Amino acid sequence: MTVYNFSAGPAALPIEVKQQIEADLYDWNGTGCSVMEMSHRSQEFKDMADENEALARELLNISDDYAVMLIPGGARLQYSMLPINVSSPQGSAVYAINGHWGKQAIKEASRFTQTVSTAPISDEVYADIPDYDAATLNPNADYFHFTSNETLEGVQWHKLPETNGIPLCCDMTSDLLTREFDVDDYSMIYASAQKNMGIAGITFVLMKRNMIGQSKNLIPTMTDYKTYADTRSFYNTPPTFPWYVMLLVLRWVKAQGGVGAIQAANQTKSSTLYDYVDQSGLYMNKVAKNCRSEVNVPFWLADENLNQVFLEQSSAAGLKALKGHMAVGGMRASIYNAIPLSGIETLITFMQEFERTHG
């Protein structure tokens, strides 16, 4: 039985990447050692790091105007690193909120700078992106932050937010490498690796070089972007294995035809699943169609008493991690880059049979 992992993260890895990890585990690049045992100061590891950055710049079309940094601590660390590096207690930052992680980001940032949300923050589950008037935003704010894809609610931005000239910063943890975009529209982008870039333990950060080293605050060395930009993320011993897995994933993305080809595949997968849910009598999606996520598809059963039965039977059928987040309920299929179309087709076949017997 083929198993499909629909986990929101840590998420599925491409089978080819897992096979390469298995092949390299005891003897990486003919060194006789695992990459986990190699010094990060060794030439072999430095060569790997060079390829990693070069490939990321190629796939995302990143110019030398941006520093590429690999920082431990996950996206949550970026929630504080961004304001303490770019703003101050006397400064201000604007946050567009359309889900759980945006709420977490503004909550943390509020400890270090004065924050303003573009619209009132709701206690309800978000099903769309709240409207706002960009002309009312303070153009002198230090930065504008948004979460491009909210994994819990399945709400995704499909166009750039209006910022009134404020530098744009984005948490792309769940959709970086899933679709094409212009890096030059942003001042800063960050993404934890465990969705589409590898495994947990490292966060990919892009930042315009002219924003780095400008902090008005006295901050710890390890939370200063300049530390990572100046040392190419080698200031201390980095998470070497996640770095290596990221390189394997970047190679895989290139082998698929690059980000454009990945985007086309993701759009096919998501539209196929949404089309089935929309015509179903048992399942529903509550997100506004103009901001539905292409990588996290939540759906609810008309009869919630069937939830546990659905989860038990789907898991037994090899369809894993479909339970929705407890804050949202229902089900959620996270269909990141590594999930093939066959996984969607298998899921729909199961859902059809479940609807036939329980609808």
pLDDT interval class at 38 (50, 70, 90): confident
pLDDT of 190 above 90: yes
Say whether both 140 and 231 belong to one domain. Answer: yes
317 shares its domain with 178: no
CATH number at residue 351: 3.90.1150.10
CB atoms within 10 A of CB 337: 26
**pLDDT exceeds 90 at position 270:** yes
Same domain for 268 and 201:
no
**Same structural domain, 297 and 153:** no
Give the model confidence (pLDDT) of 303-327 as tens digits: 999 999 999 999 999 999 999 998 8
| Domains: count for the chain | 2
pLDDT category of residue 216 using cuts at 50, 70 and 90:
confident
The pLDDT score that the predictor gives to residue 189 is: 98
Same domain, 179 and 321: no
38/71 same-domain check = yes
Among the listed residues 103, 142, 195, 300, the single catalytic one is: 195
**Amino acid letter for position 118:** T
Q: Taking the CA of residue 206 as centre, how many other CA atoms within 13 Å lie in the half-sphere pointing to its CB?
A: 26
Instruction: Identify the CATH number of the domain in which residue 118 sits.
Output: 3.40.640.10
Domain that holds residue 269: 257-358
Residues 26 and 120 in one domain: yes
The answer to the question of residue 115 being in a domain is yes
| 359, pLDDT greater than 90 | no
Asked if the structure places residue 158 within a domain, the reply is: yes
Residue 160 is encoded by which pair of tokens? 């750039």
Q: What is the pLDDT of residue 1?
A: 83
What percent of the chain clears pLDDT 70, i.e. is strictly above it? 100
- The 10 Å Cβ neighbour count of residue 162 is 16
Structure-token pair, residue 35: 């990459």
Give me the mean pLDDT over the 268-283 stretch: 97
> Is 6 inside any structural domain?
no
- Point out the catalytic residue in the list 28, 101, 157, 243: 101
What number is the average pLDDT over the span 252-281?
Answer: 97
332 part of a folded domain: yes
Closest CA to 172 of 81, 242, 332, 186: 186
The last residue of a domain, from among 255, 284, 317: 255
Residue 340 lies inside a defined structural domain of this protein: yes
Verify that 227 and 321 share a domain, yes or no. Answer: no
User: Would residue 98 count as lying in a domain?
Assistant: yes
The structure's pTM equals: 0.96
Question: In 209-295, where do the E strands start and end?
Answer: 283-284
CA distance linking residue 302 with residue 307, whole number of Å:
10
Residue 217: the pLDDT is 86
Answer with the one of 215, 238, 255 that is the final residue of a domain: 255
Would you say residue 9 lies in a domain?
A: no
| Same domain, residue pair 221 and 277 | no
pLDDT digits (tens, 9 = 90+) for 219-250: 999 999 999 999 999 999 999 999 999 999 99
Tens digits of residue pLDDT in 85-119:
999 999 999 999 999 999 999 999 999 999 999 99
* Single residue among 208, 237, 255 that ends a domain in this structure: 255
For 89, list phi and psi in degrees, rounded to 5: -60, -25
How confident is the model over 145-174, as a mean pLDDT? Answer: 97
Q: Are residues 348 and 241 in the same domain?
A: no
Q: pLDDT tier at 186 (50, 70, 90 boundaries)?
A: very high
**Residue 134 located in a structural domain:** yes
Known catalytic residue at 171:
yes
Name the catalytic one among 28, 157, 171, 226: 171
Same domain, 222 and 203: yes
- Give the pLDDT confidence score for residue 199 in this predicted structure: 97
Number of H helices, E strands in the chain: 9, 14
Q: Tell me if residue 195 is catalytic.
A: yes
The verdict on 83 and 218 lying in the same domain is yes
